[in-house]
Amino acid sequence: MATLVVVTHGVGNHPEDFYLAWEEILRAHHPDGDFQVVGLWWEDLLEKVAEKFPIVEDEFADVVAAFGFGQLAKLLDSSTFDQVRDFFMDVLVYLAMGEMTDYIQTSVALRLKEVLRDQGAEAEETLLIGHSLGAVSLPHVVWRERNAIGYIPYRGLILLAPPLGMASPLPSVIKDPLGAMPGVHGMDRLQILTAFAREWDEGALHLLINRHDIVCADVRFPVGGVAVDPIPVRQGFRDAELAVLEAECAGSVSRFTQGAADPRKVAANHDVALYLQRPELDGAFAHLIGEAP
Amino acid sequence: MRRPAKGGAWLVVASLLLVAAPAAAGNVPAVAELDVYIDQVKGLAAQLPDPPGDDGEIRAYLVGCVERATFLRDLAASPETERPLLFIELKRFTAYRNGAKDSLGKLTPLGRRLLRQENRKAWPPLGHYLMDDYVASLVIRKALFERKYFEEDDPKQANLLEGWINSRFDLLRSRDGEEAWYRSHGVSAWEATVRTEPVVLVSHSTDVAVLFAGGLLYNFFPEVGQDPDDPFAASVKDDLWSRQVKRVGLRGGAGALFGGGGPSLLLAAGMQLRAISLWATYEPEETAWSLAVGVSDWRWLKRLRPILPYFGGP
């Protein structure tokens, strides 16, 4: 039976049929693979919450600038900076608006179940792929399901450019993406990662991280002959966190370097198409859809 | 239990239902399925060395799972056990397992393999019985969140401070699986508001003021369940309170009164019903009390427009 591949977008303006572009690349790389791609669209939820809390788009942007993002603005052209700012604004919408995090997680979790119902698929034959902020919401959603039924029923989870390593500068106000996992009260980051990685079979969990992608890595850009990290918050996992993931679920982290550490390449280095064409993804995807090596 | 052996049994069952009432108590595992789980986990524990050495934690976890499963199995085997009680015990077993898994420390490669086998092979046939309840809880919680935050009477726009306060305090925030008199499926009926809003004095003068006001509101939730024709849709049944009153609460604030002599300090305490607040106001400079009306949702101004001229409005 064909593997159902449910893909989840990140930030940006995504149409409901965003998954078609993903499918085209996956098909090109796996022409003989027996799988079906469907999209888990949640753009409307982010917009609904952003509309409810417009201060994120207005005054709060100044607060973010006050955290030191002004340096980033100097490095990037205005268009690229707007994209980066929009990303962090969407992260804030998702994580900083109190019960809205719970609301979005609940709604996305329900949509995932509806997708499976509509496709007539079982979770055990379903592979989940998330990119960017979608690579945050998917772990949250499957963890919510795990809390309810005692295990994660999906065959596998692939996270492209996951901002899960991001550390909040004010964790008591804005949760870390890891701290926003439902029901992890009292657990530290290493405990959360340990518990999450242990829930998967070996080979079922994959995180793909481009070292030159500012969303999931602390990229240093050359400024006046000196390598500078212009973003004041930590985006990438710490070494100890990567070690935990690797120890608890061997082979779960793939780090690579693609694209120049150039402020003009910030968007390109985060592009989902870059990740979908990586050989690391080819291997993980082939394994999880049961494709012969 | 049809015929409780002891007089307090009904009370116990009633309290269990109150603590962890399932959103949808569906099928429950049969004795044979529980036996399979118990045998499998015992088999996993038997693979550990004796003494377990560095595998002591995983051994304790597996033994704990067997004990809980045996209790559940005995409950399932009893003809007096009713299905809702068994379902609640299955949920408690699940919560126990989750907590035990999360608190496991460092594991050896053998420990990791045994944990995976228990978790990915032995448990799923039991955990699968909770899936319908999980979907039901998603449907219901989503509907409750939308009633609380996105319904017509709630201001279309809120602010960061409200978001933070409502996620900060136990009384206000949602809690998965936690029930209390003020909660429905974990969603709290209480809500804090911190807003700037216009008010119009309606006694002694018709001056206009702007208040920075905080409040604690209680939302009257409707009865929410799954739509019988579509388990992914909510069936919402309003009662008189949830339909007509929707939310009510107390508020306090301070702001500026724009009278003839320029702005002056105005203090206020009030009560909010839906989007409308009735305020008792006090001007310290004039030592004057008054009454005022305010709206926390500016869209209500459209509805009030026909009567605003009577209160000094447009």
Residue numbers in A near B156 (CB within 8 A): 51-52
Summarize pLDDT for B29-82 with one digit per residue, the tens: 999 999 999 999 999 999 999 898 999 999 999 999 999 999 999 999 998 888
Instruction: Provide the pLDDT for residue B6.
Output: 40
The better pLDDT of the pair A80, A68 is held by A80
Summarize pLDDT for B238-296 with one digit per residue, the tens: 999 998 888 899 999 999 998 777 889 999 999 998 888 999 999 998 888 999 998 87
DSSP letter string over B205-239?
---EEEEEEEEEEEE-PPEEEEETTEEEEEEEE--
How does strand B262-273 pair with strand A126-131?
unpaired
Yes or no, beta carbons of A107 and B142 under 8 Å apart:
yes
* Closest approach of B293 to chain A, Cα-based (Å): 24
3-state secondary structure of B280: strand
Task: Give the C-alpha separation, A282 to A190, whole Å.
Answer: 28
Nearest CA in chain A to B114: A198
Nearest CA in chain A to B90: A149
Residue A94 has pLDDT above 80, yes or no: yes
What part of A 43-72 touches B (C-beta under 8 Å)? 48, 51-56, 60
Instruction: Provide the pLDDT for residue B97.
Output: 98
The better pLDDT of the pair A233, B114 is held by B114
The mean pLDDT value for A152-170 works out to: 94
Residue in B123, B162, B167 closest to A150 by CB = B123
Instruction: Provide the pLDDT for residue A227.
Output: 87
Nearest CA in chain A to B145: A103
A225 falls in which pLDDT band (50, 70, 90)?
Answer: confident
Yes or no, beta carbons of A110 and B139 under 8 Å apart:
yes
Residue A171 at interface with chain B, using a CB cutoff of 8 Å: no
Summarize pLDDT for A51-64 with one digit per residue, the tens: 877 654 555 555 55
The mean pLDDT value for A27-32 works out to: 96
The better pLDDT of the pair A232, A216 is held by A216
Yes or no, beta carbons of B128 and A191 under 8 Å apart:
no
DSSP letter string over chain A?
-PEEEEEE--SS---TTTHHHHHHHHHHH-TT--EEEEEE--HHHHHHHHHH-GGGTTHHHHHHIIIIIHHHHHHS-HHHHHHHHHHHHHHHHHHSSTHHHHHHHHHHHHHHHHHHHHHT--GGGEEEEEETTHHHHHHHHHHHHHHHHSS---SEEEEES-GGG---SSTTTS--TTTTSTT-TT--HHHHHHHHHHTS-TTSEEEEEETT-TTTS---EEETTEEE---SS--SPPHHHHHHHHHHSTT-EEEE--S-S-GGGHHHHH-HHHHHT-HHHHHHHHHHTT---
* Closest approach of B174 to chain A, Cα-based (Å): 7
Residue numbers in B near A252 (CB within 8 A): none
DSSP letter string over B76-131?
HH-TT--HHHHHHHHHHHHHHHHHHHHT-----HHHHHHHHIIIIIISHHHHGGGH
* Closest approach of B61 to chain A, Cα-based (Å): 14
Summarize pLDDT for B172-222 with one digit per residue, the tens: 988 877 889 999 999 999 999 888 888 888 887 888 899 999 999 999 999
Yes or no, beta carbons of A148 and B159 under 8 Å apart:
no
What H or E segment, with its residue span, contains residue B41?
Answer: helix B31-46
Yes or no, beta carbons of B163 and A54 under 8 Å apart:
no
Phi, psi values for residue B281, rounded to 5°: -115, 155
Least confident of B107-111, B172-176, B216-220, B224-228: B172-176
Give the mean pLDDT of chain A. Answer: 89
* Closest approach of A8 to chain B, Cα-based (Å): 19
Phi, psi values for residue B123, rounded to 5°: -75, -40
Sequence-distant (6+) residues with CB within 8 A of A275 are A131, A160, A161, A208, A210, A281
Total-model pTM: 0.87
Summarize pLDDT for B298-312 with one digit per residue, the tens: 555 555 555 555 544
The mean pLDDT value for B230-234 works out to: 94
The mean pLDDT value for B12-33 works out to: 62
Residue numbers in A near B133 (CB within 8 A): 148
Instruction: Provide the pLDDT for residue B278.
Output: 93
If phi > 0 it is left, if psi is from -120 to 50 it is alpha, else beta; for residue A225 that is left
What part of A 80-139 touches B (C-beta under 8 Å)? 96-103, 106-107, 109-110, 113-114, 117
Residue A69 has pLDDT above 70, yes or no: no
Instruction: Provide the pLDDT for residue A72.
Output: 66
Quick one: what percent of chain A has pLDDT higher than 70? Answer: 90
Instruction: Provide the pLDDT for residue B4.
Output: 36
> Number of Cβ pairs closer than 8 Å across A and B?
119
A93 falls in which pLDDT band (50, 70, 90)?
Answer: confident
The mean pLDDT value for A90-99 works out to: 78
Query: CA B89 → CA B13, B37, B173, B183, distances in Å?
Result: 11, 16, 26, 21
Residue A141 has pLDDT above 90, yes or no: yes
